[in-house]
Amino acid sequence: MLKFLPIILALGYGLLMLYFSVWRTKKMLAEQSQPLRDPALLALAQKMAVALELPQIKVNVYQIAAVNGLAAPDGQIYLTQGFLDRKAAGSVSDAELASVIAHELGHVALGHTRRRMIDFTGQNAVVVMLSAVLSRFLPGIGVLIANMISGVLMAHLSRRDEFEADAYAAALLVKAGIGTGPQVSLFRKLSALTGAAGAGAPAWLLSHPKTDDRIAAIEAMAARWESAV
């Protein structure tokens, strides 16, 4: 039983840190957000709600300058003020922001937050086990290698979730009559909007798929749907 104690402790520590992170995130979002009041965006959100047979889709505005959208652990959808500022400046359209909302809805509907909680907990156990094994053969660097392997695995799982949320968003946008065009056009602008670095990094180290791969996947889906009509 004692030989499993490090794994049990790692799982417990992971769960504790996870629940603390969820609590802190919910508190921060509640304190720094307000309901979306943009009439044009709310109209598009309502179109998606009708497509999903929901009374409404609630969207909040997170008061930070970064350009992002997110799905909170409690299922709340957020756009950042930075994204709305880009809309006011004419850099993005209402339909492009609707595609962000659809993407975050995908994370919620597909249970990615819950899945990520399980992945995060398991990651701690994997690091402990790999560290113990590798340190026997590679003293001093075994822990570093274990963390790198764990990071690569988590990046792979994150990319899988992003592709799934993209596919969900594409289907919802088509069903709502918005189409996948705004989703693709926003991706083409995204690096410039966010100032994202790491374009030359190996794909297996990235938490999000390469933009060109995401666009290609969406366009392939749209082509299949069009040919099936």
pLDDT of residue 27: 84
Reported as a single tens digit per residue, the pLDDT across 49-78 is 999 999 999 999 999 999 999 998 888 999
Reported as a single tens digit per residue, the pLDDT across 169-213 is 999 999 999 999 999 999 999 878 876 544 444 444 456 788 999
Q: Give the C-alpha separation, 100 to 185, whole Å.
A: 12
pLDDT of residue 203: 47
Please, are residues 207 and 156 in contact by the beta-carbon 8 Å criterion?
no
> pLDDT exceeding 90 applies to what percent of the chain?
52
Mean pLDDT of the chain: 82
- Asked if residue 120 has pLDDT above 90, the reply is no
Compute the average pLDDT of residues 161-168.
95
Please, are residues 20 and 28 in contact by the beta-carbon 8 Å criterion?
no
pLDDT of residue 42: 97
- Asked if residue 218 has pLDDT above 90, the reply is yes
Determine the distance from the C-alpha atom of residue 131 to the mean position of all C-alpha atoms in its chain, rounded to a whole number. 28
Compute the average pLDDT of residues 155-165.
87
Q: Is 222 left (phi over 0), alpha (psi -120 to 50) or beta?
A: alpha
pLDDT of residue 197: 45
pLDDT of residue 190: 85
Compute the average pLDDT of residues 8-14.
60
SS3 (DSSP) at 67: coil
- b/e string for 83-114 if b means 16 or more Cβ within 10 A? bbebbeeeebbbbbbbbbbbbbbbbbebebbe
Q: Give the C-alpha separation, 182 to 97, whole Å.
A: 8
pLDDT of residue 60: 97
The residue range of the domain holding 142 is: 2-191+199-228
Determine the distance from the C-alpha atom of residue 40 to the mean position of all C-alpha atoms in its chain, rounded to a whole number. 24
Q: Give the C-alpha separation, 101 to 83, whole Å.
A: 11
* Cβ neighbourhood burial of 219 (10 Å; 0-12, 13-18, 19+): middle
Number of domains in the chain: 1
Compute the average pLDDT of residues 89-104.
97
| pLDDT higher at 90 or 25 | 90
